[in-house]
Amino acid sequence: MAVRVPLGRLVGGDLAPSHLERRGSFGVARCGAVRIDHHRAQAICNTPAISVRTGVGRGVSLTMVGTALGRPWVVAAVAAGGAAPHAEVPARFLVTLGAKMTLIVHRRAFWPKGLWEQEGDATEVVELGSATSRSEKLALQGRLAARLAGAARRGADLVAGFGSPITPALLLARCFSRRPVLTYHTQDFLEPGRYPWREVCERWVARRAGLVCSNEINRARILQSLWRLPVPPVVVPTGLPREWPFPARDLERRRAILGENREEASTLVLHAGGFSPVRCTEKIIRAAASLDSRFVLAFTASPPGSESRARIESIARETGVAGRVVCLPFLSYPELLGLIASADIGLLLYPNDGIGNFYQRPGRLTEYVGCGIPIVTSCFPGLKQLVTSHGLGAVCDPEDPAAIAAAIERVGSTAESQPERNTRLREVFRTSLCFEAGSAEYEHAWRRLLSRATRGRRG
């Protein structure tokens, strides 16, 4: 059984520093001449600075975790919950910089074994669960605020908020404790007036944060003006870690999707998601009518009986391409990446309906490129620059089915062989589009914050 003892209480009299000896990367303290029985240790328990494990007889053995030896404690609240890990990637990066992490999420994302090990003292994960009704969502905000305020009282050095949905909890927690440095990182953009209450909370949090981050340079500059920040947010693009183990191309799975009667020369065009007006789904299906029969469209998140599947199949019948449209169910994250790796072209189309979609840097882009397939995306400034500078595929007018079809045709008719293109794009991900490739400014800013926290603990 383990209990926890605050470092200040130990140094203040329960254990003198002379009783501490370093061991490994953290250290071990033995009771020596001063003995603390289990009940006394439990009575002074209040912080994760020291982990106390019961020993033989009445004595205890005290195992120090990072914060006790100056390792800063970051409490990270992540808004997104589900399969994709993009919202958690920056938090993992902080652990690689030397932070001790308490990660609070609605539901943990998928991580490959060994990429972010939770064993040991580096990371503690707290899952709050999901919510659907308004009352459940309010209760969830309350639980999150209580967790954050409690961590602040127990000595957390920094509170990091990731995503606008958790800003009400950040605001509420800040009312009860102002000690930890607050940081805010958004990978989205709230169109002004679309979510008024969340917009108010996000602006309040950003103005009081010691560090504000965005995932796209144009979004960052606009947010500086909207929030009236003294400096632009630090920019770090959304992306998977460099060492993410992307799957290989699975020809058997590809044949199963295309169907036994289709030729091997068929081109599998993937839209990773279901029917959505803000993903140009109807325009994509109508574009298929202008493509020859070798092009097959596949959509995910569209199980039998779903509204997404009904809308897709209705438009496919109307345009005469029902035989070349495949609807797939919801997939786990590993299954989705396996599907992407087995496709030939990935679609990443957004309408020009606001700042957030016009200035995009989506995590899906790194999934497509990391799996080695080219993309067709909207001809907006940031996306166009990425596609042209790295040879990722083609851009087009996302509102014009004929333009979408022409872009798909260009990408599908390239002289580059599939194996060559796959190898090249995977290397582009590793060198230019992974999270670490765009994190230099982010790393510098966080190293400065963590260094200050460490000096504060040692001081």
pLDDT, one tens digit per residue, over 341-389 is 999 999 999 999 999 999 999 999 999 999 999 999 999 999 999 999 9
User: Which has more pLDDT, 137 or 398?
Assistant: 398
pLDDT digits (tens, 9 = 90+) for 273-288: 999 999 999 999 999 9
CB-CB contact of 312 with 327 (8 Å): yes
3-state secondary structure of 418: helix
Query: How far is Cα of residue 124 from the mean position of the Cα atoms in its chain?
Result: 17
3-state secondary structure of 376: strand
DSSP character at residue 243: T
Q: pLDDT value at position 117?
A: 66
Domain ranges (residues) in the chain: 2-68, 72-242+438-453, 251-433
Q: What is the dihedral of CA 373, 378, 381, 382, to 10 degrees?
A: -40
CB-CB contact of 89 with 241 (8 Å): yes
pLDDT digits (tens, 9 = 90+) for 176-186: 766 778 999 99
Q: Which CATH class is domain 251-433?
A: alpha beta
User: Which has more pLDDT, 84 or 59?
Assistant: 84
At which residue do the structure tokens 């805010």 appear? Answer: 184
CB-CB contact of 108 with 127 (8 Å): yes
CB count within 10 Å of CB 91 equals 24
The pair of three-digit structure tokens given for residue 145, joined into one six-digit string: 């605020």
The pair of three-digit structure tokens given for residue 160, joined into one six-digit string: 């990091």
3-state secondary structure of 38: helix
100-105 and 123-127: which strand pairing?
A: parallel
Least confident span in 30-39, 212-221, 226-235: 30-39
Check pLDDT > 90 for residue 455: no
Q: pLDDT value at position 119?
A: 46
Residue 413 CA to residue 248 CA, distance in Å, equals: 22
Burial of 207-245, coded b for 16+ CB within 10 Å and e otherwise, reads eebebbbbbbebbbebbbebbebeebbbbbbbbbbeebe
CB-CB contact of 375 with 392 (8 Å): yes
72-242+438-453 CATH: 3.40.50.2000
CB-CB contact of 346 with 374 (8 Å): yes
Burial of 152-180, coded b for 16+ CB within 10 Å and e otherwise, reads bebbbbbbbbbbbbbbbbbbbbbeebeeb
Q: What ranges in 391-439 are assigned the alpha helix state H?
A: 401-412, 418-428
Which of 201-206's residues contact partners 24+ apart within 8 Å by CB, and which partners?
Answer: 201/164, 201/167, 201/168, 201/170, 201/171, 202/164, 202/167, 202/227, 203/227, 204/167, 204/171, 205/161, 205/167, 205/170, 205/171, 205/174, 206/233
| Helical (H) or strand (E) element with 199 | helix 196-208
At which residue do the structure tokens 């996306």 appear? Answer: 383
Domains 72-242+438-453 and 251-433 share a fold: yes
What does the pLDDT average to over 315-325? 95
Check pLDDT > 70 for residue 18: no
CB-CB contact of 227 with 206 (8 Å): yes
The pair of three-digit structure tokens given for residue 404, joined into one six-digit string: 């979408």
Beta bridge partners of 10: none
